[in-house]
Each structure stands twice: as structure tokens, then as C-alpha cells.
Structure 1
Amino acid sequence: MRFLSSFLVVSPVAAGFGNLSAIARHNAAESTAHSPDDLAKEARRLRAKARLLRQEAVEAERSLKIYRQNAKDLSDQDADSWIDLLLGNSKTTMAVQVDGGEPAPISIETLAMRIKANNLYSFNKIQKLCRRLYDRETDSMPGSGVLLKDRAEFKLGDENNSVEKKENDSRRIAGLLDRILEAIQSLDDQCNANVASDVRSSIKDLRLSRDALIKRRFESLAAGKEQVSTLDDLVEGSIGKENGKSEAELQKQIAFRRIIDMPLWVPPSLSVLIAKAPTELSVSCLERVKTELLPDSGFFCTSWDYCSTAAVFRGRISLSNETDLIFNGIQSRLQTHPGLRDKVQLFLAEDNEWTGPSSFEDSSKPPGVIIAVPREVIPEHERIRGKTLVAALSVVLTCFTSFVFSLSAYALNGEFFRNVERNDVSAVVPTCLPLALGVLAVSAIHECSHILAARVHKVEMGCPVPLPSLETGTFGSITPLRSFPSDRKAMFDIAISGPLVATLVSFLLIVSGLDLTVTASAQELERFPVISAALVKSSYLVGAAASFISPKLMLLPNAQPFPVHPLFLVGWSGLVSQALNILPIGRLDGGRAAMAVFGRKVSASISFFSILTLVIISFVRSSSLIFFWTAIVATFQRLADLATVDDFSPVDKTRKNIYLILLSVAVLTLWPFPI
């Protein structure tokens, strides 16, 4: 019997697998036998089916919208009746008229008495009532019908629709809403106080989102832009290429529309990357972030908002001085979550829509928010942008300018000049090559320090692209980041490691070169490069070192040539190039460090004024070095760098002091020695 029952169960299953295999073979045979005309006909059929499905989706969405609107109307009727009870059955006014003048607001005591008498202090009733007042407040705002589009203007029994009247109505409704919350909080019940606090936070978030939406749409209208990224446009572009656009063009169009519709809470450092995301975030996925990652994490989520490719979670942090630890705990939860770790990545940033101190934190600093984006959002491999030929040409030019810098340093040496006149390449190249290689070696030390720091913090870096310079041999290198640093501390360590190590090495070379020059014999001096005293006096730091080691050197006239050991020139070139790179501008090492120390908004202002200062100096001092460096920076490096995963938690005072000291060294290097 057991054998028979097993046979009866297994046979249909085996037969089913056999049928599936036969169907798969049949479909494979048919797919290989189809002609191009058959495939085109099938494509047209699928497009027609897609359009039909789209129409069905539109109809279903319309029905759902009507259902929700009906449910909201019923809810609003209840809320309106409660508002009438609080206002003393006055359906058209928000206050009581006094002596025919301005309406006087209903007192908090009266509201508290009416709330208690009518049993209106439950959370659901208060939330519904306050949300209805918020809708009335929004509808009464001037221009809300145009800017918010989906709202009809609310009138308080008066045909006067002037801007002043609307502003007064909106302000009165907002005042009533705030007084209702104060009345609830005044009741002697801790539960009521918590209800009022929660509803107040919710209303505040709604107001912030509303004001930001109005601002975005107003700016869009003022700029003459229209938001055209509708569902029909995207679906029509995705189901066929009848319009003749390639896949790349469609992706660019979608990215452009996403940027136009990008909410203000999206960090600018992420907006372009998010707009190009190949996937979007589902609402269910974001709800799982809110319900499965954030609870009991130390981050109390009070509201959230989302667009197609990002979401923001606002709230408060239980321990403000342990923000980084709390966020790292949330990150650990995400990495071990089987349903979210491959779909979402989280960032901690300042709230861009914050306008003032929150109800729970009296601070001038914007609160932290958690930003969720698709896992596929990664830093662009800028391909410098993918132009290997340009990078190779830059390497060749840097080697050439380093050799030219060395050649110019020996140009005033009598023996070297005679070898040049004799076209003795075998004597010229070996003489210049060590100095050129020394300049490149300092630059290599700079980049190796970056790479080592990046490995410590597990950050991927792109290949450095050197920048040629006739004045110093090289300006340094452009080193792009290929992954998001974990926090501002990691960004600082990676940025500062290169200039810090190279500056120390360069200064030691300057000191060693001056010392070897002072102690050199006459025969050795004849083989040294020859420079003018003005070169030493062009830098306050170099001049100070020379004054200490060789005081007589600083007494020479600016045009007076004198021999110096090659190590001095290697150190001088390295010190100047490091000073230029430590300036707080854009994507320079100094710009990255300034962003980590001062935050993005402050560092952006510092970067702008730094570029402006360089422009002024390049014209006032007629410095070709500053002029060319300003042109390179303003063209390629002026923009802020990538976001860090934790862009909110500040760096410690030690790192801040290190940067300020290094920045002071850079200023002293570029500042001329007083004569």
C-alpha cells in the first residue's frame, strides 16, 4: 500500500516535469525558427499589450484616487464637526469678533475646556483634527491652488480673495492649530502631553515639506521650467523606440527629469548619482527600512518622505553625542538584513530643508536625517573621464616639464651651459635627470600616502593623473575616489595624508639642501644648479629656513645668482606644490579636508572665496604660477567631492588642528619673505 501511494504521488509530479521539459524544448525550437518578420510582429503585439496594461493601470489608479478622496471626505466631515464644536459651532470663522474690529483668538483655557467636554483628546481624533486644520491652513495660503496643484483654495465665508486676506486666514488657522495643541498639553495628563508632542512634530514636518514643495515649484515656474516627467512619458519611452531615441538618450532623459523633480532634501553631492540610478526604490522596501531597521536603534523616526530613487527619514537621535555609533549600528543591521542589504544603502546627512531649531533640540545646526538610496548608486568612474589617452599625455607632459624645470635650474651653471653649447647630450641628461626624478619622487610619495590611507579606511581610489607645471615641474595629481568614504574622518585622513607627508619630506630636503650648500667645497659648488636669491625670498617659510641656516644668503640682492644643492630645489618644488594642494578648494586635498572639518556648506563658501583670492593674487602679483594653478583649479577641481556615508558626524579637534596647522604652513609657503 505504501508503495502504491508513493507511486500515485510521484507519478503526476514526474509527468509534470516531463511536460515542462517538453514545453521548454518546444519554445526553444520555436524561438530559433522565428523569422525577423515574426519577431517584429511579436514585438508589436507586446507593445499593444503594454499600452493596454498601462490604460488599465491608469483606470485602476483613478479608481483608487476616487476611493481615497471619498474616504478623506468622510474623515474631513468628522474633523469639521469637531472644529465647529471647538469654535462654538461657528463654521465660518476661526475666532470671535470683538467690537467690530480684528477677530480675537479663542483662549487656550476655553479650548481645553471644550476638548475635555467633547472627549476630543484621543490620539486619533487629535491627529485627524489637526491634519484637517493643516489642510485648511495650506489651502488658505496665497497661490496654493497653483503651486500645490491638487488643492482647492479654502474660503472662510468671505469672497475677498486678496493676498492679504489669504495670509490673514492662513495665519489665524495656524494659530488655532498651535493653540489646540497647547490646550491639549495643558491638560493634567502625561498621555495627553505625549499626544500633543507627537502631533506637533508631525505637523511641523508637514509644514517643512509643504514650504519646500512650494519653494521648488515657485523656483521652477520662475525659471520657466516645466515638470514633464509623467508616468505616460516614461512608459511610452520604455516600451518602444518609435520616437527614434536610443537607450542611452532615454536614460539621459530620465536622469534629467529626475534631477528636475529632485526634492530639496536630497544632498547635492548625491543628486546626480541618484538621478542616474538604474533601479528605483519600492515603497514596501522603504517601509521595511522604517519598521525593521530603525526601531530600537536610537534613531526615533517621526516622518519620512520619498521620491522614485531616494527616501529621507527624519527624527531625533537619543544620544546626540553618539550619532556615529547609532548610525553604525543601523548600518550593521542593514548588512545582516537578508531582504534589504542588496537593495538599499543608507547615508547620514544634514537636513537640507531645516529652517530653525526643532522642538526637541535647541541648536543652530541642522538635525541629522537618514537618506536611503538604491544599492546600485556608486561613484562615477569619471574616466577622467575614461580618456586614457589624455591621462597618458598628462604623464608624458609631467615628465617633460619636470625635466625642463631641472634644465632651467642648471641653465646659469657655467660648465653645464658649455655642455649645452657643445650639444653634449651625454653630459646634459645625466646632470638634469636626478633633479627631475627627485621632483617626481616627492609627488610619488604624496600619492602613495593617499593610497595607504585609503586602504586603511577601505576606500577605492582611481589612478592619479599628474598635472604638469613649468614653474615647479608638477602641480601634483588629480586622484578621484571610486567609493564612498565611511565618514568625514576617513575623508580627512585620506585627503591630508598626502600633503602632510610630502610637506614634511620637502621641508627636510630644503633644510638638507641648504646645509649641504653651506658646507660644500668650491669644486662641488661648480656642479650645483644656480638660482637667484629671489627664488628663496619668494616664500616666507623657505626664507625663514635660509635665514637660520645661512643668514648671509638673505642679504643678497634678488637678482644675484648663487649655487645651491639639488636637494634644495627638489624640496622647494615639493613644498610649493603641496601648499597649492592644501588650499581649501573643491576637490583638492585641502578642499576635501576642509569639507571634513567644517562641513559642506561652510567649506563651499571657503572654496569660493579661496578661488576669488587666487584670482586677485594672480593679477596683482603677476604670478604665472598662481595664474596657471587658478585656471586648472577653476576648470577641473572647483566642485565639491563625493558624499561620505556619514556626512553628519564631525571630526575631532585633533584633526581640525592638524588641518589648520598645515593650512598655515601653506600660507607661509606662498607668502613672500619681507625684504
Structure 2
Amino acid sequence: MAAARTPGDGPPVEEFASVFRVHEVRTDGDRLLYVGRPTVSADALEREVHPLFREYGYEISLRRHQPAGPTGPGTYALVAEPRTVGVDGIPWTNVALALATVATTLFVGSLWYQGNAVADPASALRAWPFTAAVLGVIGTHELGHYVTSRYHRVDASLPYFIPVPIPPFGTMGAVIRMKGRIPDREALFDIGIAGPLAGLVATVVVTVIGLHLPPVTNPFGVQFNHPLLLQAIAAVTGQQLVYSDPQLIFNPVVFGGWLGAFLTFLNLLPVGQLDGGHIVRAMFGERTETIGAAVPAALFGLGAFQLLGRSSDVTLVWFLWGTLALGLAYAGPTTPISDDGLDRKRFALGAVTFLIGLTCFTPVPVSV
């Protein structure tokens, strides 16, 4: 039998002997291997040992160690790996993508300000308000996820920005990568909802600032339709979103708010690994799969309605997102280790957040 105190100062075997019979404890680099056999199902074992190993600073996984054979039943190994939360060294990939996205948004922003960064590099510098607005909203959204992940001691990457050097935004947003397991529904809910709420605050701030700046000449000849949230902000501040001169369009800074509202609605779709999928999984448990299955149908239906009834304003965005939602629904939501129910305050906050998300929706985002 292994010693009561294992190498690397991991948890003593006596603390989980009721669910896993340990035959041997060994080290493999900085990992600990508890070799033996579980006495309960894999899910029950994980629910029991995961909080214990987290307290000792380890992430745990169950792996087959030796298959069953003539000499006896097979064995398993509880593999404990040191848990790290936060940045380890300089995240060069994140830095490179962020700088590239600054460059692409400056380039696109120069076009909004009637310049051309290729012919006149100085015009890119004049587009810094557009870049600050767009990246500020996107970055604030992802920072909400990252900070909440740190709070719940779930390992997550810094944001990976996605540079795209084409109008109207110069970016496809940003993502963070969750590298640690979600311990419970509360953590899943908090991490999922923090991004949209933080992004909504940034969206309101950027929109208010942009509405007080002068309009510009529309360089692309497309019309951006406005969700109820932006219309409400304009009404409260007494500023214009639409101009009588068809050649004019709101200041490019407002695009940070427009993009923030649009991304908030998309992220709150209650399916799969999207923020809305995390929230409804925390709120409704396994019933989430039924909700998620309805999302692709709703998006395809919206696209079909526009195709049949509003041919002049057809947009493929809902067909695109319907296809994406179909894949997300098939992959399923994130399952926390502990699946205990959510408290009423969080449940209410989730419901309010989805209602606010509806104010970010516009059936036809862009018209030609």
C-alpha cells in the first residue's frame, strides 16, 4: 500500500480510498500516478476526487493503465497533473494575433474615414478611434470570460483575436480557450455570462461616445440596420442613428457598439459551446439539448423567411449561423463535473440576460 503522503505532496490515498483502491503511487515528471481500480463509475469517481485534487493543485483524469488479462483484472491510473491558472511566460501567439488585428482594423478603419492605408499609410493612424472601439468591445467581452475563469480557478487562455483585412470591421472577433474542467454549474454559469454582460457595458459606452461624433460619408454603399438596444441609446442621448442624406452614415466609432450588439446576440444563442449554451446548460441541466436542437431550425427558418418574403434584403448570415448552430448542437454543451442545481439569483440573472440579448437582435443586419 502506498504511503499516506504521496510524492509531490498530492492528496493521501486514504482520502479517496472509498472510491478508488490504490495499489501503487508513482511519479512521471511532474505528474502523479495513482495506480489501482475504481470502485464506482467513472463519473462518480470524478465528482468525488476532482475537488480534492484541485485543493492540492492538480487536475485529475482517469486512464487505462493495464488491460485485463489471464493474470487478473486490468488496472487504471488516476493521473494528477499540476494545475496552472493564468499566463505562463509570454503568450507570443496571442500578442501576434492582437497586433495583426490592430493592423487589419486600422486598414479597414482608414476606408471608413475616406482614406486608404495602402496608398497613404498615415490615414491608418487617423483610424485609431475605430480600432479602439472595435477591439475595446471585443476585448472587454473576452476579458469578462478570462477574469471569471481565474476567479473560479479554471485554466483559460488569453484572447486570440482573429484578424481579417476586409470591411466592414477588419476582424472576426476573438476567442479564449478553456483548458481546465468546469467544476460545477455555478462556475459554468458565471464564466458563460460574464462575457456578454461585460461586452454589453462596453457596447453602451462605445455607442454613446460614437453617437456624439460627426457622421462620415458611407464608403461602401450598404445600410446597417439597428437593433433595439442601439435605437434606445440614441433616443436616450438625443442623437441620430439614421441621416436624411443617404450618403451619410454614423461615425465609425459607433460600429464598435453595433458589432458588440450583434456579437452579443450571436453569443447568447442557447446552443453548444456558445456563451448562451453555457448559460442554459447551467440553468436547465441536461434539458439543454432540447433547447439547443431548436436553435438551428429557428435560424434556418429566419433565413428562409427573408429569402421568400424580402428578396431585396436577403442575407446569408442566418443560413451560415444555422449551419454552425447545427454543428454546435451535435457536439453538445459543456458538462460540469458537479451537476447540482443553480441558485435562484443566477437563474433570474440568466433570464434577464437573454431578454437583454433579444434587444441586440435585428432580422436583417445589413441591406444592400
TM-score clears 0.5: yes
| Structure 2 counterpart SS, 1:512 | helix
Q: Is the 8 A contact 2:53 2:59 kept in 1?
A: no
Q: Displacement, 1:488?
A: 0.6
% same residue: 21
Q: Is the 8 A contact 2:289 2:329 kept in 1?
A: no
Which of the numbers 440, 447, 450 marks the counterpart of 2:135?
440
Deviation string 1:53-97 (CA, Å, 9 cap, x unpaired) is: xxxxxxxxxxxxxxxxxxxxxxxxxxxxxxxxxxxxxxxxxxxxx
Q: Distance in 1 between matches of 2:60 and 2:324?
A: 37
Q: Distance in 2 between matches of 1:631 and 1:556?
A: 37
Residue 445 of structure 1 aligns with an amino acid whose one-letter code is: T
Structure 2 match to 1:658: 349
1:470-549 maps to which residues of 2 (within 5 A)? 470-514=167-211, 516-517=212-213, 525=214, 528=216, 530=218, 534-535=223-224, 537-549=225-237
1:362-511 maps to which residues of 2 (within 5 A)? 375-376=78-79, 398-399=101-102, 402-403=105-106, 405-410=108-113, 416=114, 419-420=115-116, 423-426=119-122, 428-467=123-162, 470-511=167-208
The 1:393/1:553 distance shift into structure 2, 3 A limit, reads closer
The 1:430/1:643 distance shift into structure 2, 3 A limit, reads same
Find out whether 1:615 has 2:307 as its counterpart: no
Q: Displacement, 1:615?
A: 2.9
| Structure 2 counterpart SS, 1:476 | strand
Deviation string 1:353-382 (CA, Å, 9 cap, x unpaired) is: xxxxxxxxxxxxxxxxxxxx953288xxxx
Q: Is the 8 A contact 1:584 1:607 kept in 2?
A: yes
Residue 464 of structure 1 aligns with an amino acid whose one-letter code is: P
Q: Displacement, 1:280?
A: 9.2
| Structure 1 counterpart SS, 2:134 | helix
Deviation string 1:92-132 (CA, Å, 9 cap, x unpaired) is: xxxxxxxxxxxxxxxxxxxxxxxxxxxxxxxxxxxxxxxxx
Q: Distance in 2 between matches of 1:635 and 1:564?
A: 36
Q: Distance in 2 between matches of 1:568 and 1:337?
A: 46
Structure with max Cα Rg: 1
Structure 2 unaligned spans of 5+ = 1-31, 63-75, 82-90, 307-313
| Structure 2 counterpart SS, 1:669 | coil
The 1:624/1:602 distance shift into structure 2, 3 A limit, reads same
Find out whether 1:593 has 2:279 as its counterpart: yes
The 1:389/1:625 distance shift into structure 2, 3 A limit, reads farther
Deviation string 1:394-436 (CA, Å, 9 cap, x unpaired) is: 66774565345424533xxxxx3xx54993332x212223312
Residue 357 of structure 2 aligns with an amino acid whose one-letter code is: A
The 1:393/1:342 distance shift into structure 2, 3 A limit, reads closer
CA RMSD, Structure 1 to Structure 2 (Å): 4.4
Structure 1 match to 2:289: 604
The 1:467/1:374 distance shift into structure 2, 3 A limit, reads farther
Q: Displacement, 1:587?
A: 0.8
Structure 1 unaligned spans of 5+ = 1-277, 287-303, 314-326, 347-372, 379-387, 411-415, 518-524
| Structure 1 counterpart SS, 2:154 | coil
Q: Is the 8 A contact 2:242 2:249 kept in 1?
A: no
Residue 508 of structure 1 aligns with an amino acid whose one-letter code is: V
Find out whether 1:565 has 2:243 as its counterpart: no
Residue 119 of structure 2 aligns with an amino acid whose one-letter code is: N
The 1:659/1:468 distance shift into structure 2, 3 A limit, reads farther
| Structure 2 counterpart SS, 1:466 | strand
Q: Is the 8 A contact 1:465 1:479 kept in 2?
A: yes
Q: Distance in 1 between matches of 2:240 and 2:58?
A: 68
Identify which range, 389-398 or 583-592, moves more after superposition: 389-398
Which of the numbers 567, 575, 594 marks the counterpart of 2:261?
575
Q: Is the 8 A contact 1:540 1:672 kept in 2?
A: no
Find out whether 1:640 has 2:332 as its counterpart: yes
Q: Is the 8 A contact 1:587 1:638 kept in 2?
A: no
Q: Is the 8 A contact 1:615 1:627 kept in 2?
A: yes
Q: Distance in 2 between matches of 1:499 and 1:486?
A: 21
The 1:604/1:556 distance shift into structure 2, 3 A limit, reads farther
Q: Is the 8 A contact 1:543 1:554 kept in 2?
A: no
Residue 499 of structure 1 aligns with an amino acid whose one-letter code is: P
Q: Is the 8 A contact 1:475 1:577 kept in 2?
A: no
Q: Displacement, 1:549?
A: 3.6
Q: Is the 8 A contact 2:292 2:329 kept in 1?
A: no
1:103-502 maps to which residues of 2 (within 5 A)? 282-283=36-37, 285-286=38-39, 306=41, 310=42, 312=44, 375-376=78-79, 398-399=101-102, 402-403=105-106, 405-410=108-113, 416=114, 419-420=115-116, 423-426=119-122, 428-467=123-162, 470-502=167-199
Q: Is the 8 A contact 1:467 1:474 kept in 2?
A: yes
Structure richer in strand, relative to its length? 2
Residue 343 of structure 2 aligns with an amino acid whose one-letter code is: D
Q: Distance in 2 between matches of 1:637 and 1:395?
A: 30
Q: Displacement, 1:556?
A: 4.2
- In the alignment of these two chains, the number of paired residues is 303
| Structure 1 counterpart SS, 2:127 | helix
The 1:549/1:487 distance shift into structure 2, 3 A limit, reads same
Q: Displacement, 1:538?
A: 3.2
Q: Displacement, 1:497?
A: 1.0
| Structure 1 counterpart SS, 2:248 | strand
Q: Is the 8 A contact 1:405 1:473 kept in 2?
A: yes
Residue 434 of structure 1 aligns with an amino acid whose one-letter code is: P
Q: Distance in 2 between matches of 1:665 and 1:553?
A: 20
The 1:399/1:650 distance shift into structure 2, 3 A limit, reads same
